[in-house]
Amino acid sequence: MSQKNTPDAGNIAQLLDIMARLRNPEGGCPWDLQQDFSSIAPYTLEEAYEVADAIERNVPDDIRDELGDLLFQVVFHAQMAREKGWFGFADVVEAINSKMLRRHPHVFGDEQVADAEAQTEAWELHKAKERSSKGEDENSGTLAGITPALPALVRAQKMQRRAARVGFDWEEIDEVLAKLEEEVAELRDAISSQESRQRQHEELGDILFSCVNLARFLDADAEQVLRQANSKFARRFREVESLAAAAGRRLQDCSLDELETFWQQAKRALENEKDIPD
């Protein structure tokens, strides 16, 4: 695989031209012409997740291809903005260049930071100043700028990290575990006392939020940990299906004891693959 650190300006120009032609009312692609920011946004999120998946699978060619797909999403949005007279791709590049230079004065200026943690704090301070300069004082609190559009686990972990920076945090992991056990007990109580579904769901949400806190204390990314758990379940369940088929059985015809037997066999069969991404 060739490695080019500096993109060919001609390639970038060609990519922008491809997008412009796709959106050209005369001879363009009907599907691309029909799209707007709202309709394309889900595809942008999907491409970002596919990048994350390729990284987890550690396949360089796939990472490259998925990054290209994600870049195309940026180009798509920039083209639609240019058509509205808002901004173009060059403006997007200029904006991110300016932001990176501004937020890294320890690299491009005279400031110094002690370590990565100190840089994270400095980064948040820069963001807060930027929000203030834009007149976003109403969003200047500790949790400002954490968009509700984030996946719930990601947003929970970001909020908890922000709160922890101002001292709103547990001191020991045992306290986190105790809180998790407390939340589980409250859900048990809500179920046994037949409280409303809404109340039960609230207690379940508290459990999930506490699990994210536990992930943070274990220096784990909650979203990634759950993705890995999903992949592990998928591998094992497919093995269960294979084992059942080899035994001439359909899963829906198996007893719970039979299914448990297949599950334990699948776990043993895949024991050495437990760290392999799905």
191-207 mean pLDDT: 96
6-28 mean pLDDT: 91
Question: Where does the pLDDT of residue 112 fall: very low under 50, low under 70, confident under 90, or very high at 90 and above?
Answer: confident
> Is 114 found in the same domain as 62?
no
Cα–Cα dist 117/36, whole Å:
39
CATH number at residue 176: 1.10.287.1080
Let me know if residue 1 belongs to a domain.
no
Let me know if residue 141 belongs to a domain.
no
* Percent of the chain's residues with pLDDT above 90: 71
> Is 265 found in the same domain as 192?
no
> Is 126 found in the same domain as 81?
no
Give the gyration radius of the chain's Cα atoms: 25
274 pLDDT exceeds 60?
no
143-154 mean pLDDT: 88
Range of the domain at 169: 152-220
> Is 171 found in the same domain as 252?
no
Convert the pLDDT of each residue in 211-254 to its tens digit: 999 999 999 999 989 988 998 999 999 999 999 999 999 999 99
Let me know if residue 146 belongs to a domain.
no
The structural domain count of the chain equals 4
Convert the pLDDT of each residue in 149-176 to its tens digit: 888 999 999 999 999 989 999 999 999 9
**Sequence-separated (6 or more) residues with CB below 8 Å from residue 139:** 131, 145
> Is 22 found in the same domain as 96?
yes
115-121 mean pLDDT: 74
Residue environment code for 182-209, b if the CB has 16+ CB neighbours within 10 A, otherwise e: ebeebbeebeeeeeeeebbeebbebbeb
Convert the pLDDT of each residue in 47-95 to its tens digit: 999 998 899 889 999 999 999 999 999 999 999 999 999 999 999 999 9
